[in-house]
Amino acid sequence: MTDLVPIRRALISVSDKNDLIPFARGLVERGIEIISTGGTHRALTEAGLSPIAVDTLTGFPEMMDGRVKTLHPTIHGGILARRDVESHVDSMAKHDIQPIDLVCVNLYPFEQTIRQDEVTTDEAIEQIDIGGPSMVRSAAKNHDFVTVVTDPSQYDRVIGELDNNDGCTTFELRRDLATAAFARTAEYDATIAAWMSGTTAARFPSVLRLNFVGQQQLRYGENPHQAGAVYRDPDFQGPSVTSAKMISGKPLSYNNLLDAASALEIVQDLHDIDSGRFASAVIKHTNPCGAGVSDTLSGAFDLAYSGDPLAAYGGIVALSSNVDRSTAESIVAGGRFLEVVLAPSFDEDAAALLAERWKNCRLLAIGALDDRGQEGLSLRSIPGGLLAQERDTHPFSASDLRQAAGPDADDELRQAAGLAWAVVKLLKSNAICIATPERLLGAGAGQMDRVAACKLAVAKAGDLSEARSRGPVIAASDAFFPFPDGPQILIDAGVNCLIHPGGSKRDDETFALCEELGITCLLTGIRHFRH
């Protein structure tokens, strides 16, 4: 193996024809002969180039609707032969095989095909590339002598190397491109395997294939002594922080991404519960410390930020609609400091105002909230393994709440419980939150016992007399109350409606307490542990 290897012959077979013609023309201008197949050959010919057709080289026609065209010793021998092994060189001479020095292949669009609505199984299977991955893997294996190109983004680098090295590529480039090639075929195969697993009834296959694309190296992980990176799910189609557009600010950190994902989740839930109103949430350490709904976006933000202004300092804010100038003015008011503001979109003047106030604040445009995307699996690593479960996407429905005790809840009160339900779902368990129909008042999260969570929520909420004078004050629990002591603390503080899953052996004691004190008790039947 030598560092510099000249490129004399290239095989090009691409489904993605972006920048194909400039790249191919650049190769020809540097004296490189081009071999091509099917649609690529046609595109090059129409552009005035003169590629050699693969079937001319192999002596066999493309057949079986294109399933068989490059699977031939003339092709793979030219790619795989080591130029420094005498027996390989002799075999090439004996069988009239010419070396192929560059392979440019991107694969059939399987991923795009399976994302189409109502695509059939037969249509998807026909987009499973066979010859392409075979050529890519052959070229990547023999990267000592062959340059493999799998993405249009690599074209300029290859042309630049040819110009800088008198028509040769360096080993460093070939190694980098081979690494990318194997990553691409692994991603491709994993996507096919995941799709085929999904066509069966098995929710959890015997072998779990993960398909994530490296997106960014992070400065560090959760703590400075931990390295970190973020990977993107290429098949996820809903709004997400990994696909969000960065409007301004410095790169997101590991913790920023965690918090932003939680902020998006709760705002999505609030939007789904009442799409006719605007919603906002403030997240700190993945827990909601504020949430609000209003007839205006700026009003929703003000309500959310007032939930716990101390905790909100340096927090992450999510909003359910486009941020206009008025909302931006509300956000920057006072001595506030925010790490991230995410929303479906930002008006230019609103983004400029936010960037002027906090030059490092990350502004993320996440797109419309109307499509939650695929439900998929929630994955969590543990030493020696991985835990997998369905995502907790159970929707809130006011009609699903069951009256258990106390004064009857009308439709308005049942709907009002939605905000508390959305917040407690995102809090770390044991979790309690206290809220009005419009805003979070206080939350107790991550406590080892539910009584402590109740006490913390009461302490965070403060005096409830003013809130109670304007309407119901609702306390939500992510799981059942094992004893009535927690509810007693909440009721003593001024709560007049409890919402919880139910299911405790001592539920009757909690119900009796609510009956005695005139407290409405509603059961969700759904637990929302978030450890």
Residue 403 sits in the same domain as residue 318? no
Residue 14 sits in the same domain as residue 63? yes
pLDDT, mean of residues 490-510: 93
378 pLDDT tier (thresholds 50, 70, 90): confident
Q: Is the pLDDT confidence value at 24 over 80? A: yes
* Inter-residue contact 35 to 103 (CB < 8 Å): no
Strand partners for 364: 246, 342
| Residue 223 belongs to a domain | no
Residue 41 sits in the same domain as residue 173? yes
- Domain ranges, residue 112: 5-198
Residue (of 193, 192, 41) closest to 113 by Cα position: 192
* Inter-residue contact 476 to 421 (CB < 8 Å): yes
Q: Is the pLDDT confidence value at 260 over 70? A: yes
Residue 138 sits in the same domain as residue 255? no
Q: What percent of the chain has pLDDT over 90?
A: 50
Total residue length of the chain = 531
Instruction: Output the pLDDT for position 106.
Output: 87
67 pLDDT tier (thresholds 50, 70, 90): low
Best mean pLDDT range from 59-73, 113-127, 168-182: 168-182
Q: Is the pLDDT confidence value at 457 over 70? A: yes
Residue 66 sits in the same domain as residue 136? yes
Strands, E assignment, 128-277: 147-149, 168-169, 213-218, 228-232, 245-248
Residue 360 sits in the same domain as residue 415? no
DSSP run (H or E) holding 289: strand 287-294
Q: Which of 365, 385, 417 is the last residue of a domain?
A: 365
pLDDT, mean of residues 504-519: 93
Residue 158 sits in the same domain as residue 256? no
| Residue 216 belongs to a domain | no
Predicted confidence (pLDDT) per residue in 131-146, tens digit: 888 889 999 999 998 9
Residue 73 sits in the same domain as residue 179? yes
Q: Is the pLDDT confidence value at 304 over 60? A: yes
227 pLDDT tier (thresholds 50, 70, 90): very high
Instruction: Output the pLDDT for position 2.
Output: 64
Q: What CA–CA distance (Å, rounded) separates 455 from 285?
A: 20
Q: Is the pLDDT confidence value at 238 over 90? A: no
Q: Which of 250, 285, 500, 528 is catalytic?
A: 285
431 pLDDT tier (thresholds 50, 70, 90): very high
| Helix/strand/coil percent split, the chain, to 5 | 40, 20, 40
Instruction: Output the pLDDT for position 468.
Output: 86
Residue 174 sits in the same domain as residue 27? yes
Residue 361 sits in the same domain as residue 403? no
| Residue 389 belongs to a domain | no
Other C-beta atoms lying within 10 Å of the C-beta of residue 372? 17
Strands, E assignment, 350-462: 362-365, 377-382, 385-390, 402-405, 432-435, 440-444
Q: Which of 141, 225, 425, 460 is catalytic?
A: 141
Q: Is the pLDDT confidence value at 493 over 90? A: yes
| Residue 74 belongs to a domain | yes
Instruction: Output the pLDDT for position 8.
Output: 92
Residue 70 sits in the same domain as residue 13? yes
| Residue 386 belongs to a domain | no
Active site annotation includes 500:
no
- Give per-residue burial for 35-67: e unless 16+ CB within 10 Å, then b: bbbbebbebbeeeebebebbbebbeeebeeeee
What's the domain count of the chain? 3
Predicted confidence (pLDDT) per residue in 385-411, tens digit: 989 888 888 888 888 899 999 999 888
Predicted confidence (pLDDT) per residue in 463-487, tens digit: 998 888 888 999 999 999 999 999 9
Q: What CA–CA distance (Å, rounded) separates 35 from 47?
A: 15
CATH number at residue 480: 3.40.140.20
With a CB cutoff of 8 Å and minimum separation 6, the contacts of 368 are 239, 344
Position with higher pLDDT, 181 vs 121? 181
Active site annotation includes 17:
no
92 pLDDT tier (thresholds 50, 70, 90): confident
Residue 170 sits in the same domain as residue 23? yes
Q: Which of 164, 198, 232 is the last residue of a domain?
A: 198
Q: Which of 198, 219, 252 is the last residue of a domain?
A: 198
| Residue 468 belongs to a domain | yes
| Residue 160 belongs to a domain | yes
Instruction: Output the pLDDT for position 396.
Output: 86
Q: What is the pLDDT of the chain when averaged over all its residues?
A: 87
Q: What CA–CA distance (Å, rounded) separates 390 from 232?
A: 18
Predicted confidence (pLDDT) per residue in 263-279, tens digit: 999 999 999 888 889 99
pLDDT, mean of residues 246-250: 90
Least confident among 112-116, 131-135, 431-435:
112-116
Predicted confidence (pLDDT) per residue in 181-224, tens digit: 988 888 788 777 777 766 555 667 776 777 787 888 999 999 99
With a CB cutoff of 8 Å and minimum separation 6, the contacts of 516 are none
CATH number at residue 114: 3.40.50.1380
Q: What CA–CA distance (Å, rounded) separates 284 from 338?
A: 10
Instruction: Output the pLDDT for position 65.
Output: 63
pTM: 0.72
| Residue 214 belongs to a domain | no
Instruction: Output the pLDDT for position 454.
Output: 95
